[in-house]
Amino acid sequence: MGLLPPELAQKIKLFEIHSRKLIVSGFAGEYRSVFRGQGMEFDEVRPYAPGDDVRLIDWNVSARTGELYIKKHIEEREQTVLLVVDLSKSGDFTSATRTKREIAAEICCILGFAASTNNDRVGLLLFTDQVEKYVPPQKGLQHALRIVRDLLLTEPHSPKTNISNALSYLNKILRRPAIIFLVSDFLDKNFERALKITSHRHEIVAIELTDLREKLLPKVGLIEIKDSETGETLLLDSNSKLFQENFKRIIEEEKSFLRKLFAQLSIDHINLTTNQAYEASLRKLFAMRSKRLIR
């Protein structure tokens, strides 16, 4: 593959360091407790990790060894995790220090490390309005790092988005149920049917990436807004009360639509903003999911 540019190599190294710190702090256990195989065919035991479901503790083995052990099942070792990431041009937009694409890479690095630590197979699908790159699921931390590298290095051929195409591609190539982390700003239309079909076959977690300026525009007079995916430009008066009210209404309607869609399909969903830290939101997602599984 050749040598990476120093700046990119440094960025990947920082992602790795940050991910390893989270794993050590118990993040891997939190991941394992809510993304585990659900079958009950006993296979072996493994040491308890923070965040594990206490109901799975093997008290007989724990009593003999003096340390806590968890019952492990065959299904746990056969999970497939797929990181499905939107690379459309809108992902390069930011009013903060990091773009949506950079946050997507960080999130995928953390999830990839957590999945690899759990001995899951991890794969990657990068898409715009076409499939830009597919990396088949494999195990191992080096493979997780390869996924982050591919995410940062891949230059998309198209600026546009088509979530339906990406999901249809997945449905054709994935023969067994998988956990799909769908990372996108969801600035797309008419993907409801494809999402419904995929959610019936696989487990989907939607990670929505948003920039503050996509929620609130400052009042700075006349501004030219360019759609990064279509190239269309509009000249708008941001001081206009009518414009501000319409902008707010449209954003609220779009967010409400997404929330209702994900709820109807029982899809876990979090919204991450480029100007905010995301670790607490990920842990909140895991906590909510854990409560739902216990019910």
Residues 262, 263, 265: CA angle, nearest 5 degrees: 65
In this structure, are 257 and 281 located in the same domain? yes
pLDDT at 294 over 60: no
pLDDT at 39 over 50: no
Residue pLDDT, tens place only, 218-257:
777 777 777 767 778 878 777 888 878 887 898 899 999 9
At 79 the pLDDT is 87
Residue pLDDT, tens place only, 250-279:
889 999 999 999 999 999 999 999 888 888
Q: Among candidates 49, 197, 21, which has minimal Cα distance to 110?
A: 21
For the ranges 129-133, 140-144, 163-167, the lowest mean pLDDT is seen at 140-144
In this structure, are 270 and 283 located in the same domain? yes
For residues 125 and 131, what is the distance between their CA atoms, to the nearest angstrom?
7
In this structure, are 54 and 146 located in the same domain? no
Range of the domain at 118: 6-33+79-294
For residues 203 and 286, what is the distance between their CA atoms, to the nearest angstrom?
14
In this structure, are 91 and 156 located in the same domain? yes
User: pLDDT band at residue 26, thresholds of 50, 70 and 90?
Assistant: confident
At 43 the pLDDT is 59
The answer as to whether 123 is a domain residue is: yes
In this structure, are 195 and 244 located in the same domain? yes
The answer as to whether 124 is a domain residue is: yes
Mean local confidence (pLDDT), 122-149 = 94
The answer as to whether 1 is a domain residue is: no
At 293 the pLDDT is 61
In this structure, are 70 and 180 located in the same domain? no
In this structure, are 210 and 64 located in the same domain? no
The answer as to whether 11 is a domain residue is: yes
In this structure, are 61 and 139 located in the same domain? no
Compute the Cα dihedral for 41, 26, 182, 249 and give only its sign. positive
Residue pLDDT, tens place only, 158-188:
999 999 999 999 999 998 889 999 999 999 9
At 77 the pLDDT is 54
The answer as to whether 99 is a domain residue is: yes
In this structure, are 243 and 281 located in the same domain? yes
Q: Is the pTM of this model over 0.75?
A: yes
pLDDT at 67 over 80: yes
Out of 8-12, 23-27, 139-143, 228-232, give the one with best mean pLDDT: 139-143
At 40 the pLDDT is 46
Q: Specify whether the backbone of 219 is left (phi greater than 0), alpha (psi in -120 to 50) or beta.
A: beta
At 78 the pLDDT is 63
Residue at a domain's end among 74, 98, 127: 74
In this structure, are 70 and 96 located in the same domain? no
At 207 the pLDDT is 96
Mean local confidence (pLDDT), 277-283 = 88
The tally of domains found in the chain comes to 2
Long-range contacts of 45-49 (CB under 8 A, 24+ apart): 45/69, 45/70, 45/71, 45/72, 46/70, 46/72
| 3-state class (DSSP) for residue 46 | strand
